[in-house]
Amino acid sequence: MADILHRIGIKSSSIDEVYQALTTRKGLAGWWTNNTHGEGNQTGNVIEFRFGAGGFDIKVIGLTPSTNVLWEVVEGPEEWIGTTISWDLKQDGDYIILLFKHIGWKEPVEFMHHCSTKWAIFLMSLKSLIETGKGTPDPNDVKIDNWN
Amino acid sequence: MADILHRIGIKSSSIDEVYQALTTRKGLAGWWTNNTHGEGNQTGNVIEFRFGAGGFDIKVIGLTPSTNVLWEVVEGPEEWIGTTISWDLKQDGDYIILLFKHIGWKEPVEFMHHCSTKWAIFLMSLKSLIETGKGTPDPNDVKIDNWN
């Protein structure tokens, strides 16, 4: 098993604003993909994220307001199905610290390397959304390689 | 044990140019940190990378021109010492694909989450250096959190 881990700090005093960006359609569409359907504010909900090259259906399996969001991937690329994605939030001085974990990859395949880098790019988009009001969700996301 | 994995694609037909950016002082200073001392083009060489907040001494332990560079961290933060960093290069159409692995972290500590995101940012700096002639090495690097 292999995991993707990341940490960003968002300059903000509103931890709820970051939580909303992870649990509402509007928030998620502001940094990950414009083509987002469904709300993430109830456990059991399935959110559909679509990109040019495909997409993911993600079930919300845990919610602790302003503290943690937990997802399970239920549809998408084979390597993603059954993996879990955890978002931990905490305030630290002027920053909201986000610890990100994409857990349960069966093998450290080349696609996992790609997804690790791409997650970092999307987390920087989330940071930008909160700090400046503007993220860079798909299709305006920063491209990292020939898989986009 | 836990690993940091990344993949970027650099639009270039010169795989040697990317190899040079990983093995010469000038190249490394162009995307990682301005404050780089030593050359990485001989196995056994130690390169000193310094940042505002500290730095790393890294020994070159493997070189396969235009294909792979292998480093071992010999001095720096405790979590880094003894870890290895591998750079694999291959041409794929219009891109040079770089597979990056920072291997051998003892524990998936919060600092590892930070380093994972920060590596992605520096790899994008390397991509920019080759594609545009200009990277964003420390101290002009993109900041990701309160640890920089």
- B146 to A2: CB separation less than 8 angstroms, yes or no: no
Tens-binned pLDDT, residue by residue, of chain B (148 aa):
689 999 999 999 999 999 999 999 999 999 999 999 999 999 999 999 999 879 999 999 999 999 999 999 999 999 999 999 999 999 999 999 999 999 999 999 999 999 999 999 999 999 999 999 999 999 999 999 999 9
Three-state DSSP class for residue B38:
coil
* Residue B72: inside a domain: yes
Enumerate the residues of chain B whose CB falls inside 8 A of the CB of residue A113: 5-7, 99-101
Taken in order B125, B129, B134, B138, the sign of the CA dihedral is positive
Quick: pLDDT tens for A40-86. Answer: 999 999 999 999 879 999 999 999 999 999 999 999 999 999 999 99
* pLDDT tens by residue, A76-126: 999 999 999 999 999 999 999 999 999 999 999 999 999 999 999 999 999
pLDDT digits (tens, 9 = 90+) for B51-86: 987 999 999 999 999 999 999 999 999 999 999 999
Residue B87 contacts A, CB cutoff 8 Å: no
- Structural domain including A53 reads 2-132
ipTM above 0.95, yes or no: yes
**Helical spans, DSSP H, in chain B:** 15-23, 25-29, 110-132
Residue A106 sits at the chain B interface (C-beta within 8 Å): no
Residue A6 pLDDT grade (very low, low, confident, very high; cuts 50, 70, 90): very high
B142 within domain boundaries:
no
Q: Which of A8, A95, A113 sits opposite B99 (nearest CB)?
A: A113
For residue A42, which phi and psi values (nearest 5 degrees)? Answer: -135, 135
Please state whether the predicted TM-score (pTM) of the whole model is above 0.95. yes
User: Is position A86 within any domain?
Assistant: yes
Note whether residue B41 is domain-resident: yes
How many domains is chain A built from?
A: 1
Half-sphere exposure of A133 (CA within 13 A, CB side): 0
Please check whether residue B141 lies inside any domain of the structure.
no
pLDDT (0 to 100) of residue B52: 84
Question: How many A-B residue pairs are in contact by the CB < 8 A criterion?
Answer: 96
Nearest CA in chain B to A114: B7
C-alpha B69/C-alpha B43 separation (Å) is: 10
- Size of chain A in residues: 148
Q: State the best of A1, A4, A6, A98 to mutate against chain B, taking most chain B CBs within 10 Å.
A: A6
Please report, for the domain that includes residue A28, its CATH number. Answer: 3.30.530.20
Asked if residue A141 is part of any domain, the answer here is no
Average confidence score pLDDT of chain A: 97
Q: Is residue B34 part of a domain?
A: yes
Domain for residue B60, yes or no? yes
